[in-house]
Chain A
Amino acid sequence: MERKKIQTLIELAITFEEADQIIEEYTGYKTDSEKIAYIRGMFDCRIIGRVGNDLHTDYVALLTSIINQKWR
């Protein structure tokens, strides 16, 4: 599926679960590190600070920030 369409669907997602499902369904990526690399390549977003080292939290924080940017 075209990259732009995937990006649009992700941006339109309302919840983290919905956006995560879109990524898995259209890209086939399953691991947190694959998904993080994918969304970092697609959106202008970075982690600039953290407490803790859980990779899944990195992914949740990035994707949640992406889908919530439409309300900011």
Chain B
Amino acid sequence: MLESKRRNEIRNKAGNIIKASDRYHFIHATYACQLMIKEIVSQHYKEECRKLSQKIREKTKNGNEISEELMEEYNHLMIMAKEGRAHIDIDYIETSSEEEARVIKINNAFVINLPKSLAQRVTNEDGTFNKSAVSKIRNLMAHELGHIVLHTDELLKIEGLQGSIGITETDKEEEAGFFANEILQMRDERNRVLHSEVFDDKT
């Protein structure tokens, strides 16, 4: 049985997380993107591992040692597989306007940079949401997620991911903008269905 003091501590921790979560929107889609990228990368490297394993078995089936060349190939594959484990992070930075956002690829991270002033405006003083700030963050997030989903193959160095080679920067922006509109509409529709079917008390 939890003591009253411990209940309050837990309640405060939960409250802090909820307050912090108000600054982050579209997190489900962000996490889904991250999982999707990881799945694509791991599928690619599973195939590479299978091929190398087969090669090693063939070259060593008469009791031969694994050659230096094959060990180098193995080490290289392990490094590439590890580097391919990309993840998505979100940072809030000082910007000249609330219409600025960036996605930075650094090592194995995609960092979505959003305006700090927006995060600070998400909730009003009375605790209600600032609709304009929330809408802006969602739009910026959706646009930058579009770049991550659509324009990453050149950076992950894996063929077969969504192509970005040969398309202009203008086209990339148009694609990301279209992606943002589509995903925001889908999300709103899904939330409407979720609330009406799951959360509304019809009894």
Contacts and interface: CB of A to CB of B under 8 A. Distances in A.
B52 interface: no
Interface string A37-62: 00000011111111110101110111
Contacts of B106: 43-46, 65-66, 69
A50 B103 contact: yes
B89 interface: yes
B100 A44 contact: no
A61 B87 contact: no
B104 A62 contact: yes
A51 B143 contact: yes
A49 B176 contact: yes
B121 interface: no
Assign chain A's interface to a size class.
20 to 34
B94 A61 contact: no
Contacts of A21: none
A68 interface: yes
A48 B155 contact: yes
A51 B104 contact: no
For the residues of B in contact with A, the DSSP-based class is mixed
A51 B144 contact: yes
B60 interface: no
Contact of A72 (B87, B97, B172): B87
A7 to B, nearest CB: 14
Given A48-B152, A49-B144, A51-B140, A68 B111 contact: yes
A44 B110 CA distance: 12
Nearest to B92: A64
Contacts of B87: 72
B102 A47 contact: yes
Interface string B106-130: 1101110100000000000000000
A56 B102 CA distance: 12
A18 B113 CA distance: 19
Interface in B169-184: 172-173, 176
Contacts of B110: 48
Contacts of A49: 102-103, 143-144, 146-148, 151, 172, 176
A16 B102 contact: no
Given A45-B106, A49-B147, A65 B91 contact: yes
Nearest to A71: B89
Interface of B: 87, 89, 91, 93-97, 99-107, 109-111, 113, 140, 143-144, 146-148, 151-152, 155, 172-173, 176
14 contacts: A16-B93, A16-B94, A48-B155, A49-B147, A50-B100, A51-B100, A54-B96, A57-B95, A57-B96, A61-B93, A65-B106, A68-B89, A72-B87, A72-B109
